[in-house]
C-alpha cells in the first residue's frame, strides 16, 4: 500500500510571484505533483523540486483543459497514490476559486488536506493600479462579487437591488464578458451612472493594463479598446485615486519580464534588483556550480598555502570553495599571514573582508587585462601566486603573470556546469512573446543558454527580445555564438548590469 498522500490547496496570489505566502512557497517546494491553473504565476513553477509532476488544468472563457469535476478527481487520484499534491490556484482558493468543491471531494475520500490562503486579486490588483478598495474620505465598505454569473439564467443569486448601493466599492471578478449586464443592473438599481469604474487586466504582472471610465461610458470604452479577460472590475469613488496613487506602472522596469541565467544559488540577488525596479525576473539557471572533478591540485595548494606571496580571487565562488577546502584540512586565515590578496570585483572584496582579510588590490575594471595592468610593479619576479578559479576560466591571467616572472599555480577550485533551467517553459514563454530581455553574467551562461534552447531556434525565438551582458568578454562570447548584445554594463558588476537594464 502506498503511504498516505496529502493535498495542499494553495492560493498563488494574483500574479506577481513575490506575493506568494511563505507557507504557499513551502508547499510548492515539497510537492511531488503540482496541479496549477492559468492564473498561477509561472515563475512559481520553477520552485518545484526536480522530478515534480506538473499538470496544467487552466481554464479559458471558451474552453477548459479539464472540467472542474475532473480536476477534483485528479487531486483524489494523485493523493491515493501516496503523493504530496499541491494544487496551485490563482488568488485565494476560497474566493471564487472553487477550492471548497475540491476540498469536499477530498473529505469524502478521507484524504487529508490543508488550505493555504492566498492574496486575493480583489484587493491586490486594485492596489497595484493605485486604487485602495477603502478610503476614509470615500468609503468604508467594499463587496466582492462574481462577474461570471450567467445573465440568461432565470433567477440571479445576486440581489442586485440591494447590492447596487449597499457598499461603497464593488469588485467584480471574472466579469469582462458580462460587463454590459453588470452595468445595466447597477444603473437600474440606482447606482449613479457617473460612478467611476476601472478595469484591470493581468493585474500585478508586467502585462498589467488599466482602463477607466464611468458606468455611463465604460462598456463603449472596453469595446473600442478590445479589452479582454482576465480582468477585474472596480466600481466606486475610490477609482478617482488612481491618478494620485498609481505606483507600479511608474517603476523603470514596469512591463518587462527579464530572464536571469545565473546559477540558482546566485540568481536571487539579480532577481530581487529587477523586481525592485518593477520588472519580473524569470530565473533560468544556465549554469550550476560544483566541486572540481579532482581536488588534488587544490589540496596541494592548500597544503603549502603559507608559501604564497599572492592570492588572487576572481569571484565569490573562488573564495567560497577555497576556504571550504582550507577548513576541511583544519587550517584557517592565520595560515595566509604572508600572502597579499587581490580581489576582482567589489563583491569578492566584501566576501574576503567579512573574514577579516585585508585586500591589497582591487582593479578598477573587472577583467583579466585590467588586473594585469594594475599588478605590474606589484608582483615581483619570482614571487609565488595562487589562482583558485573555475575550471573554464581564461588563461590570459596566469599566462601573463608567468611572463612577468611570477611562479603561478592556477588550480581549479570549482566547476561551472550546465544548469537545470526549465528549457521547455522558457521556450513557451519566448514563443508567446512574454520575455522582453535576457541577461548574461558570464561567457558560460551564454554558451549554456544557446545549448539548452538550441542554436537553430534562437533567431526566431529572440526576435524582439533584448540581450544584456555584464561586460565585453561576455558580449564577445555571445557574438561568437551568433547573438547580438543590445545592452552592455559599463561597470562589470551586477549593480552595473542592473543600471544598464533601465535602458530596456
Dig out the grid coordinates for 160 from the structure.
442586485
What's the start-to-end Cα distance of the chain, in Å?
Answer: 55
Give me the helix-helix angle, 179-188 and 218-225, nearest 10°.
170
What are the angstrom distances between the C-alpha of 266 and each of 31, 154, 188, 205, 475?
A: 23, 58, 57, 24, 20
Q: CA 35 from chain center: how many Å?
A: 19
Pairing of strands 257-260, 280-283: parallel
Residues 6+ apart with CB under 8 A from 185: 160, 164
Dig out the grid coordinates for 416 from the structure.
561551472
Whole-angstrom distance, CA of residue 388 vs CA of residue 414: 8
Whole-angstrom distance, CA of residue 155 vs CA of residue 351: 68
DSSP for 350-380, written as a single string = HHHHHTTPPP-B--SS-SHHHHHHHHTTTSP
Percentage helix, strand, coil, to 5, in the chain?
40, 20, 40
**Beta-ladder partners of 234:** 171, 198
Whether a cis peptide bond, with omega within 30° of 0, leads into 355 is no
144, 166 Cβ separation under 8 angstroms: no
Active site residues: 37, 59, 174
Burial level of 351, CB count in 10 A (0-12/13-18/19+)?
buried
Length of the chain: 504
Amino acid at each position: 500500500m502506498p503511504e498516505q498522500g496529502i493535498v495542499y490547496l494553495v492560493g498563488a496570489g494574483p500574479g506577481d510571484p513575490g506575493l506568494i505566502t511563505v507557507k504557499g512557497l513551502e508547499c510548492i517546494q515539497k510537492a511531488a505533483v503540482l496541479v496549477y491553473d492559468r492564473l498561477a504565476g509561472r515563475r512559481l513553477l520553477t520552485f518545484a523540486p526536480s522530478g515534480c509532476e506538473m499538470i496544467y488544468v487552466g481554464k479559458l472563457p471558451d474552453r477548459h483543459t479539464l472540467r472542474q469535476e475532473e480536476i477534483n478527481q485528479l487531486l483524489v487520484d494523485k493523493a491515493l497514490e501516496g503523493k504530496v499534491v499541491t494544487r496551485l490556484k490563482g488568488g485565494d482558493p476560497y474566493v471564487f476559486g472553487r477550492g471548497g468543491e475540491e476540498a469536499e471531494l477530498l473529505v469524502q475520500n478521507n484524504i487529508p488536506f490543508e488550505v493555504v490562503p492566498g492574496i486575493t486579486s480583489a484587493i491586490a490588483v486594485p492596489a497595484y493600479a493605485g486604487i485602495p478598495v477603502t478610503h476614509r474620505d470615500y468609503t468604508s465598505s467594499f463587496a466582492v462579487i462574481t462577474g461570471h454569473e450567467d445573465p440568461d439564467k432565470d433567477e440571479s443569486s445576486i440581489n442586485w437591488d440591494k447590492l447596487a448601493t449597499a457598499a461603497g466599492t464593488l469588485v467584480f471578478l471574472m466579469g469582462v464578458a458580462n460587463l454590459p449586464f453588470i452595468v445595466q443592473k447597477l444603473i437600474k438599481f440606482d447606482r449613479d451612472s457617473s460612478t467611476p469604474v476601472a478595469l484591470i487586466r493581468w493585474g500585478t504582472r508586467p502585462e498589467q493594463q488599466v482602463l477607466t471610465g464611468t458606468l455611463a461610458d465604460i462598456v463603449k470604452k472596453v469595446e473600442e479598446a478590445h479589452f479582454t479577460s482576465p480582468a477585474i472590475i472596480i466600481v466606486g469613488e475610490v477609482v478617482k485615486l488612481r491618478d494620485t496613487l498609481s505606483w507600479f506602472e511608474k517603476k523603470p522596469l514596469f512591463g518587462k519580464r527579464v530572464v536571469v541565467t545565473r546559477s540558482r544559488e546566485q540568481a536571487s540577488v539579480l532577481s530581487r534588483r529587477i523586481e525592485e525596479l518593477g520588472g519580473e525576473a524569470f530565473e533560468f539557471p544556465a549554469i550550476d556550480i560544483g566541486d572540481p572533478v579532482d581536488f588534488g591540485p587544490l589540496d596541494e595548494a592548500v597544503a603549502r598555502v603559507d608559501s604564497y606571496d599572492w592570492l588572487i580571487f576572481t569571484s565569490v565562488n573562488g573564495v567560497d570553495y577555497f576556504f571550504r577546502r582550507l577548513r576541511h584540512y583544519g587550517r584557517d586565515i592565520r595560515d595566509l599571514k604572508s600572502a597579499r590578496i587581490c580581489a576582482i570585483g567589489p563583491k569578492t572584496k566584501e566576501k574576503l573582508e567579512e573574514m577579516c582579510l585585508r585586500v591589497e588590490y582591487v582593479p578598477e575594471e573587472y577583467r583579466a587585462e585590467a588586473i594585469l595592468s594594475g599588478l605590474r610593479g606589484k608582483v615581483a619576479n619570482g614571487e609565488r601566486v595562487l589562482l583558485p578559479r573555475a575550471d573554464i576560466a581564461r588563461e590570459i591571467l596566469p599566462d601573463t603573470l608567468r611572463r612577468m616572472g611570477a611562479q603561478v599555480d592556477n588550480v581549479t577550485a570549482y566547476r561551472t556546469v550546465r544548469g537545470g533551467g526549465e528549457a521547455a517553459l522558457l521556450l513557451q514563454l519566448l514563443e508567446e512573446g512574454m520575455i522582453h530581455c535576457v541577461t548574461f553574467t558570464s561567457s558560460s551562461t551564454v554558451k549554456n543558454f544557446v545549448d539548452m534552447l538550441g542554436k537553430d531556434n534562437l533567431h526566431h525565438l529572440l526576435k524582439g527580445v533584448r540581450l544584456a551582458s555584464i561586460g565585453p568578454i561576455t558580449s564577445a562570447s555571445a557574438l561568437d555564438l551568433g547573438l547580438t548584445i543590445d545592452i552592455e554594463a559599463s561597470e562589470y558588476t551586477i549593480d552595473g548590469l542592473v543600471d544598464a537594464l533601465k535602458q530596456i
